Structure 1
Amino acid sequence: MSEPQQASQQTSPRVVIVTGMSGAGRRTAAHAMEDLGWFVVDNLPPSMVSQLVETARRGGQDRVAVGLDVRSREMFDQLPRSLAQLEVQGVRREICYLEANDDAIVRRQESARRPLPLQDGGSLIQAIAQERRMLGNLRADADVVIDTSNLNVHQLVHRVGHIYGSGDDQATRFQIMSFGFKNGVPVDADMVFDVRFLPNPHWVPHLRPQTGLSREVSDYVLAQPGAQEFLDQLVGLVNTVGPGYFREGKRQATIAIGCTGGKHRSTSMTEAFAARLRAEGVQVSVLHRDLGRE
């Protein structure tokens, strides 16, 4: 068999562009992917992405991640052309976008004592605003958005592992996230549901110090009128949208379930919902965003 024929029969690697706001954890996400066996290249000129993919193909690499941020100034001109070229080559490409709110970025940058790439002696807030504007189109085109505002490093690594750690790519994977509305709605969730229609265990003295991970709180929440019916509806929803997501190329989706503080009701319902989905063969991971927060 000739070399061109061999090359044509080689499988194109999966390519993920890892980008996002400075201070949002892009480098942590890239390192996590590297630990998962991905071939990771950071700050590669976008014009070289196609060459990298061809090199990875010849070397038998089936998963390639390219880290890009605003320091790669040429990416805003060259990246759209590079992504279009990958599509012509039949390469499946994705964009993973890391973001965080202004307060989180300011806190992290002040802790690291490093200026943002666009700061140039100006104010930190102005640099953040300028970066958001420059990255707006990439954010809109992203296949996966991870909001790290309320995540620690370990939670971020866990999320990356759920999204990019599985070799089974035959169905959309779901992350079920509990949260507290008082700490803000997760902006990276694909669907958000409110379980504050259920009685709050916070007002039951012996349940207040416990969490939804305890059997006693879970039994209390799940026994309330409407709880099981709500879970039935959610499972039916996933069975409906899951295949559609997959047909449209969406391989990861996040469903957020919120209560007041993210301690009792949302945690119990998230665990129960995830258990139901696993019983039906759905790939699921769980994140309790606000558990442990005051």
Structure 2
Amino acid sequence: MRFVIVTGMSGGGKSTAMRMLEDVGFFCVDNLPVPLIEKFMELLVMPGNEISKAALGLDVRADQSFGDAMKILDRMRQNGFIFEVLFMDASDSTLVKRYKESRRVHPLCTPEDSRVEHGISKEREILTEMKKKADYIIDTSKLLTRELKEEIDRIFVKNGEYNNLIISIMSFGFKHGIPADADLVFDVRFLPNPFYIDELKYMTGNDKGVQEYVMGFPEAGQFMDKLEDMLRFLIPNYIKEGKYQLVVAIGCTGGKHRSVTLANELYRRMKDKGNYGLTISHRDVK
């Protein structure tokens, strides 16, 4: 029996994760009343039960005590019940944006205090201990739906070794500003600019012609070797320190040619070579 508790911040992607688990064969139950959690878990391990994979969605509700749910889970674990905890998270700014777009009310908001920011702050405080105990933390701030599915499959279908770190590789243009959430920023304006080549000017680093031009310079390959080597060194140390989101930003002047080419090349080199999540985006390519 594989049993997963899916919890996390409201708006962090819990419902989407539950649907994805259901798609890969998990028996999923969401928003079960707290007093029924223990009974549900006991039923799953009864002899003759044909369910081999189950997931229980657990979130913060104004009318239920999350602390009581935590006590039940702790008691079940002490009694030998084995389960995993998947914690869905996102940055506060992302959560606020999602609530604004959906026009939903945060579950911890009240008529006296309806600000989404305050509800998020309360919820994050309540979930502090649960997050510390989580086996997997997925930050969906920068994840596309298909990228989240890749993470879910990697953990629960392929059963691969997993660390909570998700690396986001991003290209950008300096003339549009440095990404505010970047952890590591690299300037590749030292390479010749394809913008000044007539046949390449209106292409991007997603096009073969630009890629061959940029990577045709020895400095480009040398830069990529050094960058990859540095990231290979940093990643295990970031994981050890508990970091679960790393944004690597590569910039050129306009964010269309050199930075896109090198971001794609870095993604190709890092893909499927480690137990971390990996995404790529091109902020200014359009």
TM-score under structure 1 length normalisation: 0.68
Match status 1:31 vs 2:23: no
Asked if 1:99 is matched to 2:103, the reply is no
Q: % of aligned pairs identical?
A: 21
Q: 1:129 aligns with which of 93, 116, 121?
A: 121
Is 1:257 aligned to 2:248, yes or no? yes
Once the two structures are overlaid, the 10-residue window that deviates more, 68-77 or 255-264, is: 255-264
Q: What secondary structure does 1:226 align onto?
A: helix
CA offsets 1:199-241 (integer angstroms, 9 cap, x no match): 3777844567544433344441584242223224445666xx4
Aligned partners of 1:95 and 1:143 also within 8 Å: yes
Residue 160 (structure 1) aligned with residue 143 (structure 2): no
Match of 1:66 in 2: 56
Tell me the CA shift for residue 13 of structure 1.
0.8
Q: Partners of 1:270 and 1:97 in 2: how far apart?
A: 27
Q: How does 1:232-271 map to 2 (within 5 A)?
A: 232-235=229-232, 241=236, 256-260=247-251, 267-271=260-264
Question: 2-side partners of 1:143 and 1:131: how far apart?
Answer: 19
Which secondary structure does the structure 2 equivalent of 1:195 belong to? strand
For residue 16 of structure 1, the aligned residue among 5, 8, 14 is: 5
User: Is the CA contact (8 Å cut-off) linking 1:38 and 1:64 kept in structure 2?
Assistant: yes
Distance of 2:38 and 2:88 partners within structure 1: 20
Mapping for residues 160-179 of structure 1, pairs under 5 Å: 160-166=148-154, 167-172=157-162, 176-179=167-170
Evaluate the alpha carbon distance shift between residue 81 and residue 54 of structure 1 in structure 2; reply closer, same or farther with a 3 A threshold: closer
Provide closer, same or farther for how the CA distance between residues 57 and 201 of structure 1 changes in structure 2, counting only shifts above 3 A.
farther
1:49 and 1:131 mapped to 2: Cα distance? 20
CA RMSD of aligned residues (A): 4.0
Structure 2 CA distance, aligned partners of 1:69 and 1:178?
A: 31
Deviation string for 1:244-263 (max 9, x for gaps)? x7xx9x9xx76542224876
Match of 1:183 among 179, 195, 199: 179
**TM-score (ref. length: structure 2):** 0.69
Whether contact under 8 Å (1:43, 1:69) holds in the other structure is yes
User: Structure 2 CA distance, aligned partners of 1:91 and 1:274?
Assistant: 36
Bigger Rg over Cα: 2
**Distance across 2 between alignment mates of 1:112 and 1:221:** 43
Q: 1:270 to 1:46 in 2, by over 3 A?
A: farther
- Structure 2: unaligned runs, 5 residues or longer: none
CA drift at 1:66? 1.9
SS in 2 for 1:119: coil
Q: 2: distance between equivalents of 1:60 and 1:292? A: 51
Unaligned regions of 5+ residues in structure 1, if any?
A: 1-11, 187-191
Any residues of structure 2 matched to 1:191-206 within 5 Å, and which?
A: 193-196=184-187, 199=190, 204-205=195-196
